Amino acid sequence: MQNIAQNLAEIRAELETSAARYGRSAAAITLLAVSKSQGPAAIRAVAACGQREFGESYLQEAIAKMGQLSDLPLTWHFIGPVQANKTRLIARHFHWVHSVDRDKIARRLAEARAPAAAPLNVCLEVNISGESTKAGVAPAAAVELARYIAALPGLRLRGLMAMPEPATTLDVQRAAFRRLRELFAELRQAGLDLDTLSMGTTSDLEAAIAEGATIVRVGTGIFGPRT
């Protein structure tokens, strides 16, 4: 677990360096540790370094780990595909869902969120590279879906999320994130009260920060390769 602490310190340093390079405050960027397929001991090691926000993609695995880590004050983000038959458990166990891309899923999450609980924080996933096989709402349909979600009780629409087509150069990576940032500005212009741009992973952290990410989602950079 020694190297997990070191990896985390390196990712935090990279986040700070990139923030400084692009004139941003590192404090305005939340590091989400993506712990999918990692065991509870590894998550505990990262939490021991002060990390609080964790991201998971697989529901059953995530719920099992939450049970084993319930003594820790962690905030859980669901970032995987949301199937309609999983909405009840997701709405009960998570604080955030980054991957909402359909009205039906949003409505089911809203219906399942306990009235006494704080609203479930939601990001709209956008198919920003226009890949036919990718999850996410088409950019042209985002305003309408955002308005629908914003009006649902039990949910708080926070912003946009994207997982662009992989690219190796900073410029190409930035171009995709820039489109998400511009869509975010458009939605705000349309009166939606959004504060979150969830974008950037281990391999495109700098590009995402350059384009205004407020949440970056880093898995392998912290935990090492998934097995």
Which residues form the interface with ligand PLP (CB under 6 A)? 34, 36, 57, 79, 163, 201-203, 217-221
What is the CB neighbour count within 10 angstroms for residue 215? Answer: 24
Q: What are the tokens at 197? A: 């741009």
| Residue with nearest beta carbon to ligand PLP | 219
Closest contact distance (angstroms) between CB of 98 and ligand PLP is 7
| Nearer CB in complex with ligand PLP: 79/154 | 79
- Compare residues 100 and 154 and give the one whose CB is closer to ligand PLP: 100
Cβ closer to ligand PLP: 34 or 137?
A: 34
- Which residues, listed in sequence order, are joined to residue 100 by a DSSP beta bridge? 124
Instruction: Report, in Å, the least distance between residue 190 CB and ligand PLP.
Output: 25
Q: Which is nearer to ligand PLP, 35 or 87 (CB)?
A: 35
**Least distance to ligand PLP from the beta carbon of 16, Å?**
18
| Integer Cα distance of 198 and 196 in angstroms | 6
User: CB of 216: closest distance to ligand PLP in angstroms?
Assistant: 9
Q: Which is nearer to ligand PLP, 154 or 204 (CB)?
A: 204
CB of residue 110 to ligand PLP, shortest distance in Å? 22
